[in-house]
Amino acid sequence: MSTSATMQGQPLPNLPWEQRPAGCTEAVWRYSANPIVPRDAIPTSNSIFNSAAVPFEGRFAGVFRCDDRQRVSRLHAARSDDGFAWQVEPEPIQFTCDNPDMEPYVHGYDPRVCWIEDRYVVTWCNAFHRYPTIGVATTTDFKRFTQTENAFLPFNRNGVMFPRKIGGKYAMLSRPSDNGHTPFGDIFYSESPDLIHWGCHRHVMGTSRPWESTKIGAGPIPIETTEGWLLIYHGVLTSCNGFVYSMGAAILDRDKPWKVLHRCANYVLSPQRDYECVGDVPNVVFPCAALADAATGRIAVYYGGADTVVCLAFCQVDELIAYIKANPQ
Amino acid sequence: MSTSATMQGQPLPNLPWEQRPAGCTEAVWRYSANPIVPRDAIPTSNSIFNSAAVPFEGRFAGVFRCDDRQRVSRLHAARSDDGFAWQVEPEPIQFTCDNPDMEPYVHGYDPRVCWIEDRYVVTWCNAFHRYPTIGVATTTDFKRFTQTENAFLPFNRNGVMFPRKIGGKYAMLSRPSDNGHTPFGDIFYSESPDLIHWGCHRHVMGTSRPWESTKIGAGPIPIETTEGWLLIYHGVLTSCNGFVYSMGAAILDRDKPWKVLHRCANYVLSPQRDYECVGDVPNVVFPCAALADAATGRIAVYYGGADTVVCLAFCQVDELIAYIKANPQ
Amino acid sequence: MSTSATMQGQPLPNLPWEQRPAGCTEAVWRYSANPIVPRDAIPTSNSIFNSAAVPFEGRFAGVFRCDDRQRVSRLHAARSDDGFAWQVEPEPIQFTCDNPDMEPYVHGYDPRVCWIEDRYVVTWCNAFHRYPTIGVATTTDFKRFTQTENAFLPFNRNGVMFPRKIGGKYAMLSRPSDNGHTPFGDIFYSESPDLIHWGCHRHVMGTSRPWESTKIGAGPIPIETTEGWLLIYHGVLTSCNGFVYSMGAAILDRDKPWKVLHRCANYVLSPQRDYECVGDVPNVVFPCAALADAATGRIAVYYGGADTVVCLAFCQVDELIAYIKANPQ
Amino acid sequence: MSTSATMQGQPLPNLPWEQRPAGCTEAVWRYSANPIVPRDAIPTSNSIFNSAAVPFEGRFAGVFRCDDRQRVSRLHAARSDDGFAWQVEPEPIQFTCDNPDMEPYVHGYDPRVCWIEDRYVVTWCNAFHRYPTIGVATTTDFKRFTQTENAFLPFNRNGVMFPRKIGGKYAMLSRPSDNGHTPFGDIFYSESPDLIHWGCHRHVMGTSRPWESTKIGAGPIPIETTEGWLLIYHGVLTSCNGFVYSMGAAILDRDKPWKVLHRCANYVLSPQRDYECVGDVPNVVFPCAALADAATGRIAVYYGGADTVVCLAFCQVDELIAYIKANPQ
Amino acid sequence: MSTSATMQGQPLPNLPWEQRPAGCTEAVWRYSANPIVPRDAIPTSNSIFNSAAVPFEGRFAGVFRCDDRQRVSRLHAARSDDGFAWQVEPEPIQFTCDNPDMEPYVHGYDPRVCWIEDRYVVTWCNAFHRYPTIGVATTTDFKRFTQTENAFLPFNRNGVMFPRKIGGKYAMLSRPSDNGHTPFGDIFYSESPDLIHWGCHRHVMGTSRPWESTKIGAGPIPIETTEGWLLIYHGVLTSCNGFVYSMGAAILDRDKPWKVLHRCANYVLSPQRDYECVGDVPNVVFPCAALADAATGRIAVYYGGADTVVCLAFCQVDELIAYIKANPQ
Amino acid sequence: MSTSATMQGQPLPNLPWEQRPAGCTEAVWRYSANPIVPRDAIPTSNSIFNSAAVPFEGRFAGVFRCDDRQRVSRLHAARSDDGFAWQVEPEPIQFTCDNPDMEPYVHGYDPRVCWIEDRYVVTWCNAFHRYPTIGVATTTDFKRFTQTENAFLPFNRNGVMFPRKIGGKYAMLSRPSDNGHTPFGDIFYSESPDLIHWGCHRHVMGTSRPWESTKIGAGPIPIETTEGWLLIYHGVLTSCNGFVYSMGAAILDRDKPWKVLHRCANYVLSPQRDYECVGDVPNVVFPCAALADAATGRIAVYYGGADTVVCLAFCQVDELIAYIKANPQ
């Protein structure tokens, strides 16, 4: 179960890592000490989950979703030396914005962080006129965050940047939605010359196998490989007791990422452990970020468990791509 | 985190009590040996939860919700020496009623018990012509219960008496509802000259912060303090997997209790332990009664966990009021 | 098709009247010049319908529902010399209220007017904290209207007074509802010693035959007869294209009006004419008032057509009661 | 009922026109010979409605919605000498598109046409991957139509261009939607440097008065006046029998059109005539286009009746603006 | 617009008939004096519609749906000399049944009548344990009707027999449903050796073009032609104001009727006249029966208008088949 | 708590068995080492549950539901020496079918297996034209499975055969359904002369007590006793957080099994253990099979836990029947 696929990109020797447990044959395996961030890691938090981590100045930084005890979703900056243990800022991020015509930031959730060119771009589900759409901000130090124009009109969620320009333009995946617990959702691709105006929208992929039959949404920033963009995403099944979120994987074309080259028919991780099945929202595995080491092909995936805690899972890029190809749709 | 607020009322030296655990900074903390009543405490019960306790003849008595194995909700009398260990009557309460025009009692749930003047008034969600509304009965000995007129037309739930007349009339909080798993609900206030006819209805408070954005309902009998009536209540959030019930708190005006003086933006307890997250209805914390000791300011709150078991939590009146004021809406 | 039933009450020699058309065998027949009030009878009205008329100082007065061009429902006073031609006040009624704890009147709809003892009592569906419930006011001159306490908690509609005390108390029919286009609804009976506090609620009748299988609601003030109270009401059927409102009739016990003595299995008028089938809400016949002449047994029913116009229909009390008995449920 | 407001723009001496009927005091009045286009004006049509007209080479041209007998929505070009009598092309428009990555045009509905700079821009609700969004095409002769990128991701409807650049960018109103008979909807404003990429989204206005309480959407191309942009739009009320579409009006700021200067609380035209109340969708008045003569201030509004036929209504710009201001929200 | 298709079957020289109006190019045209049966043709009827007619002893007989004034659906026998003017029996059919284990007949609707071998088989939507399924009865004289076993378990509607055995077994089309205003529905085929036990179920066709995108159901008994079985059916579109029922047509294989040989993309008749658009259910054309003259190829289709009246439409078999083929799906 | 009821049938001395735990007074008790089959018992399985076991050649065989990691439901054959430890075939069953008119098997779930006459009949919820209905197949060796006609039209689930002919015909219970997470459902009885054609449908029992108020469905093959057929079934309650599945029991008449002789008002097992409350679908106990030893009256019930694992429970036939009679509806 392996290919010769390799990553494009930088080595990340201090990537958090744990070997596959003896006897395990899964393409993706859990960290043995999950969850890595408990629900009450900061004094005001009800839960911490669905959070994004990136390499930063030799260590790690991130934007974390911390729901407070009003159950309002907040975005907090966080730091880590090793990618396992995180110090989450007790105060939410204060976005600055100098355009008075823009509606001021109120709150948001499910952040992603993408290094592109010379700064980190943060995207999240932003409350715009009380409606969900993709908020965008930039930072270089995880202290000052400058908010810019929302990428799209409402209603949208799960906006995920590509880590380089494609065809000379910025590129983003997103999932058009409705205003509630949206019961549908496909992944689309959009382009922008300036990170402000977006167009040339393309359909990427829709719902499919039962585990992803209700809706899907991009997860971590896509990882460029010799085979194409590795996209880890979430898929949702509706049981008679509500939504079940699992993790899936696909390979997109490097130049035209709206073309799906390979898509795994199976989920690669589904909610089975107590910290994924019991919590504020039972039965949720929700990936939001991945660290990748081009030197070894190792990937560490950060995912939310039960909308309550932050967890880690691991895989090898060649093995995961081999698994995707071995279980095609 | 404290005020000079004190309770009006009687000392209750034998109130069940456990000190705040070391290191805990919460305004409300759980009893370490929860649940105090298991689901099968009587031979016929499927679950025992959402129950009401009061001081009685130097010890304690109560009306408990015991769903039987048809999953029919029943009301049972119960006794306790210490407020922790309860003897629940194996047979449901037989209400007597000498008004042949009233529909006979069939079943009910979510009781509250209030000592007022010279008797205990029991209120509950009563099945009236198969529709939920507020049932009313009186007792002095927890053996004979005399049912009187339903307080309101359907559809209503969570009828909670005040422990003394206000403005010369009996007073009750309630939550108008629909006939199913009501997806909305505010707290109203009503008055009665005779415990039979009700009027002068006032709106008290509605849904608000995310944790209480679907509906709210009064919990224990309000506790009179120098700051106003301390109201502990439940608030409901709708996740993609259903309702989540948490506990909140507010202060109402002593003379015009429909005026909300303070309301806490945060929940004060939310479902986080296994006995609150796993059971017949996952993710439910539902307070129904409180014992209070005016001498010490100690309060013991009885609440249902996961619609399955009875639990206890504790707080100090001055600390809780300080917390409410420190986290205003 | 006749009984010896006669009305209790006063003669009304100037009752608006038109003989049954030749060849017609219906118990209830339409006025040949319907509608009697067009949708734009006042400059600001979008529609005028579901309105109440009473005898007044030898002529007629009423409270009319006039939806304005915001489609806000308003209540307007109206006068008529003959019961056919109406002068509707161009300005809505300004209710006065001297109780500062009551929420001020905002708007309302579907009025009924009842003469009892020494004044007219107006009831309507009142917006109380934005929720529907039964508003109550009194007038003696159709110029000054004094609003008093809402009769019930939300949610309620179609509150209809009885024209005399029953068992020493005021009596009202109503229909507990929800907050939208309620898809259910039975008629209940409530009593009050003071027109303020209401209790002793009784279930009167529920949905039944297909034409009334979704919900029912009382229409005009019940007419007392030697057989019991003649209740004209509306029943709603849900077709695949929405609600259809028809007119039905029943006889209630004179002393215990929650006891249904006779109930007609058939509707007595259903939407079949263009002014009932085409308009703001297609397929609506909604009775709100009736004039009755005890000397002749003649009844004139005012009803709304298609939620757009005011119409008249006629019947003889003995014939209608005979028809009810001849078509029992 | 008049202001000194005047239009910006060109005279249009051959604008179709009919004087206000004697006795009529409405701000907007209907053409006496409505409908101007019957449902079967072309051999294959089930219905023709919600269509757009513009001045063209001294006469008139347009893009019309013709649903065929599969009930598929099609866009057809049309010509008229006088704006009353229309020749609709029997064959649908064949859009050309030379970008192979764009999904080919399948079908569309509810077109608008806007002259800007040197060409007509057609916008419509386009089926993109079977989902509704705003399609965009250009034409100069109403024979060749070149389709370009969809303006937005799904789900969107009622995309309406402004007739000149604002702040140096193209500008469009639209209504984010869902994938069905959307039960919600506000108007937003978006900008583009190139008619391809869109951003700087602003909220313009939401639902409001009862007649527009479910959703709203822009109608004709806004008309520039000395008071601001005159926006005629549709608002939807949900009765128990479905949606009712009426016509409303507002004034937007000339430089920042997301700022609403005036908004009329009343509808200006609602479905009351048979050709608006009876048809494929009862009770629909849906404006899509307006011709305006700057010399006289006359406006002719094209609107769909009952989703079945094309109708005309008329107004004077000064009178309409006066009416808007006289009936403020 | 014609083929050489001819019918299999008997001549019917007295078939009711009216030539296509001058200028009309439709494949199916309406009778100029529609409706042929008014809603009140019998004293107790609210409406008469969705009814079945067959040749009988040189004249015509049928089973008619008469909803009474309870809005209960009843089946009534009817006779006609010419197929235009009908005498409907004032009393509903009394089905006899000698199997005490069968639930007795309560009521039913939407009948079809099929002559096969030596008797007429009546099928209808039968209330079985209050659930809809296909009732079956036989008659030879339209006076005595013998009910036999229901064909299927609930929930089913629109059971339509074939007029001869196919493959040695009786054959029926039906539409599995739910218990309400079913929002889905495909046509299936089933076989029986004995008219009691049914099996070998086959899927025939599902929803398709917009006019038939919600559900479809067989209409008249299929007409055998040299091209296959001509199936006239209804298709339903869901507008924002409810269901719209139109008439469609298809050709099924003569030996394996679950194989669809041709299916018309267009409806062949849709609700456009007042008697189809205004009534108890607006916008309904519902075909239930057809008379066919093999000598001339003439077909007379009986259909319900607006769930209120009985109407007639006409076509020529060769022209209709040509139209189906000329507008293929 | 016992009767003299005894089973009809064969001894099964190697039935898997564990004595009632000390102190337990329940009629049905759990196996102490539940679950007996974990979710990942085969390499490709997401979960294994709702499975059927039968005696086979002195040991045991079965048909098991294994959802794969696409979350597609598959049927797998399985073998066991002792009824506790199972070897599940890693590959799904390949049904053979020589009738080309039948739609080929795609997938299925919730199997039952019944020995009748000379072969095992397997029934399951079969995807027929993507709709659920009762699939039927036969086997003698659990290697070759021959599929025959679906028993019914869609929509149906939980088809359960009787183990002998009744009144000379095969007999099956089933639950007519809809196409989703059906919110209703009663048990019906049907007969067949040939296992192909089904008719003489009878209503057996509907929803009832709260624990079974949403829908019910037959579980294991009924067990014949001197008191009648012992039917173990599932009942569903809808909480505000979804469906809760419990196990119930009833006694049906031996000759006319649609007659319910006794029905237990209480559930006999409800989800209370972690393996029943936490998993892919929380709160599910779903019985599918039972082994019975006529010599001792012992019964072993196989049931699914939380739609994730296979569990065992035990009872004595005389005690269970006594419990049913002691707790009548």
Give the confidence band of D1 by pLDDT, cuts at 50, 70, 90: very low
Tell me the average pLDDT across A249-268: 97
Instruction: Calculate the average pLDDT of chain E.
Output: 95
Smallest CA–CA distance, residue A144 to chain F, in Å, is: 41
Amino acid letter at B68? Answer: D
Contact B244 A280 (CB under 8 A): yes
Measured CA distances, F264 to B70, E64, F198, F320 (Å):
9, 45, 29, 10
Tokens standing for residue A72: 């309002």
Among residues 102-121 of chain E, which lie with CB inside 8 Å of chain F? 103
pLDDT exceeds 60 at position F240: yes
From the number of C-beta atoms within 10 Å of its C-beta (0-12, 13-18, 19+), residue C61 rates as buried
Smallest CA–CA distance, residue C215 to chain E, in Å, is: 14
**Alpha helices per DSSP H over chain C:** 274-277, 317-326
pTM equals 0.92
Give the confidence band of D137 by pLDDT, cuts at 50, 70, 90: very high
Give the confidence band of A129 by pLDDT, cuts at 50, 70, 90: confident
pLDDT value at residue C2 = 55
> For D176-196, what is each residue's pLDDT tens digit?
998 899 999 999 999 999 999
Instruction: Calculate the average pLDDT of chain B.
Output: 95
Q: Give the integer Cα–Cα distance in Å for D174 and D166.
A: 16
pLDDT value at residue B124 = 98
pLDDT value at residue A98 = 87
pLDDT value at residue E2 = 55
Q: Say whether F278 sits in a helix, a strand or coil.
A: coil
Beta bridge partners of F324: none
Q: Give the integer Cα–Cα distance in Å for D234 and D175.
A: 11
pLDDT exceeds 60 at position A2: no
Give the confidence band of D206 by pLDDT, cuts at 50, 70, 90: very high
Confirm or reject contact between D68 and chain A (CB < 8 A). Answer: no
pLDDT exceeds 60 at position F301: yes
Helix (H) or strand (E) holding E39: none
pLDDT value at residue E288 = 98
Q: Give the integer Cα–Cα distance in Å for C324 and C318.
A: 10
Tokens standing for residue F46: 């997401």
Tell me the average pLDDT across B305-328: 97
pLDDT value at residue C1 = 46
Confirm or reject contact between E90 and chain C (CB < 8 A). Answer: no
Task: Return the residue of D nearest to E209 by Cα.
Answer: D70
**Preceding amide of C193 cis, omega within 30:** no
Tokens standing for residue F124: 């399951």
- Residues of A in Cβ contact (< 8 Å) with D259: none
Longest dimension (CA), chain D: 58
From the number of C-beta atoms within 10 Å of its C-beta (0-12, 13-18, 19+), residue F83 rates as buried
How big is the A-D interface in CB pairs under 8 Å? Answer: 91
> For C283-318, what is each residue's pLDDT tens digit?
999 999 999 999 999 999 999 999 999 999 999 999
> For F92-147, what is each residue's pLDDT tens digit?
999 999 898 888 999 999 999 999 999 999 999 999 888 899 999 999 999 999 99
Confirm or reject contact between F130 and chain A (CB < 8 A). Answer: no
pLDDT value at residue E22 = 93
Q: Give the integer Cα–Cα distance in Å for F135 and F129.
A: 12
Smallest CA–CA distance, residue C178 to chain E, in Å, is: 21
Helix (H) or strand (E) holding C78: strand C73-80
pLDDT exceeds 70 at position B306: yes
Confirm or reject contact between B237 and chain A (CB < 8 A). Answer: yes
Q: Say whether E282 sits in a helix, a strand or coil.
A: coil
Q: Please, which residues have CB within 8 angstroms of residue A219's CB and are 6 or more apart in sequence?
A: A160, A231, A232, A233, A234, A247, A286, A287, A288, A289, A290, A301, A303
pLDDT exceeds 90 at position E209: yes
Contact A324, A6 (CB under 8 A): no
Q: In what order do the strands lie in the sheet with B199-205?
A: B156-161, B170-176, B187-192, B199-205
Contact B281 F240 (CB under 8 A): yes
Contact F68 A266 (CB under 8 A): yes
User: CB atoms < 10 A from the CB of F165, how many?
Assistant: 14
Among residues 245-284 of chain C, which lie with CB inside 8 Å of chain B? 256, 258
Report how many helices (DSSP H) and strands (DSSP E) chain F contains, helices first: 2, 22
Long-range contact list for F270-273, CB < 8 A, 24+ apart? Answer: F270/B46, F270/B69, F270/F211, F270/F244, F270/F246, F271/F244, F271/F245, F271/F246, F271/F305, F271/F306, F272/B39, F273/F30, F273/F34, F273/F305
Chains that touch F (3 or more CB pairs under 8 A): A, B, E
Among residues 204-233 of chain D, which lie with CB inside 8 Å of chain C? 209-211, 213
User: Of the candidates E142, E135, E98, E99, which has an alpha carbon nearest to the alpha carbon of residue E119?
Assistant: E142
Q: In what order do the strands lie in the sheet with F156-161?
A: F156-161, F170-176, F187-192, F199-205
Chains that touch D (3 or more CB pairs under 8 A): A, C, E
Q: Give the integer Cα–Cα distance in Å for D158 and D287.
A: 11
Which is it for the CA torsion A26, A27, A33, A35, positive or negative?
negative
How big is the A-B interface in CB pairs under 8 Å? Answer: 52
Interface test with D, best of A98, A102, A153, A172 (most D CBs within 10 A): A153
User: Of the candidates E12, E105, E104, which has an alpha carbon nearest to the alpha carbon of residue E57?
Assistant: E12
User: Of the candidates D19, D68, D23, D78, which has an alpha carbon nearest to the alpha carbon of residue D288?
Assistant: D78
User: CB atoms < 10 A from the CB of D90, how many?
Assistant: 12
- Residues of B in Cβ contact (< 8 Å) with C103: 203
| DSSP per residue, F43-105 | TTEEEEEEEEEEEETTEEEEEEEEEETT--EEEEEEEESSSSSEEE-SSPP-EE---TTSPPP
Contact C16, C300 (CB under 8 A): yes
Contact B253, B261 (CB under 8 A): yes
pLDDT exceeds 50 at position E1: no
User: CB atoms < 10 A from the CB of E106, how many?
Assistant: 12
User: CB atoms < 10 A from the CB of B141, how many?
Assistant: 12
User: Of the candidates C242, C224, C222, C241, which has an alpha carbon nearest to the alpha carbon of residue C232?
Assistant: C222
Contact A274 F279 (CB under 8 A): no
pLDDT values of chain C reduced to their tens digit, one per residue, 329 residues: 456 889 998 999 999 999 999 999 999 999 999 999 999 999 999 999 999 999 999 999 999 999 999 999 999 999 999 999 999 999 999 999 989 888 899 999 999 999 999 999 999 999 988 889 999 999 999 999 999 999 998 899 999 999 999 999 999 999 998 888 999 999 999 999 999 998 998 999 999 999 999 999 999 999 999 999 999 999 999 999 999 999 999 999 999 999 999 999 999 999 999 999 999 999 999 999 999 999 999 999 999 999 999 999 999 999 999 999 999 99
Helix (H) or strand (E) holding E127: strand E119-128
> For E62-93, what is each residue's pLDDT tens digit?
999 999 999 999 999 999 999 999 999 999 99
Interface test with A, best of D201, D207, D253 (most A CBs within 10 A): D201
Confirm or reject contact between F241 and chain A (CB < 8 A). Answer: yes
Contact D46 E274 (CB under 8 A): no
Chains that touch A (3 or more CB pairs under 8 A): B, D, F
Confirm or reject contact between D179 and chain A (CB < 8 A). Answer: yes
pLDDT exceeds 80 at position B1: no
**β pairing state of F95-96 and F145-148:** parallel
Longest dimension (CA), chain A: 58
Q: Give the integer Cα–Cα distance in Å for B156 and C153.
A: 9
User: Of the candidates C42, C53, C57, which has an alpha carbon nearest to the alpha carbon of residue C89?
Assistant: C42
**Euclidean distance between the first and the last CA atom of chain C, given in angstroms as a whole number:** 18
Tokens standing for residue A223: 């990882």
From the number of C-beta atoms within 10 Å of its C-beta (0-12, 13-18, 19+), residue A166 rates as middle
Chains that touch E (3 or more CB pairs under 8 A): C, D, F
Interface test with D, best of C280, C283, C284, C285 (most D CBs within 10 A): C280
In C206-294, at which residue ranges do the beta strands (DSSP E only) sit? 215-218, 223-225, 228-239, 242-252, 260-263, 285-293
> Residue written as tokens 């599910």?
F284
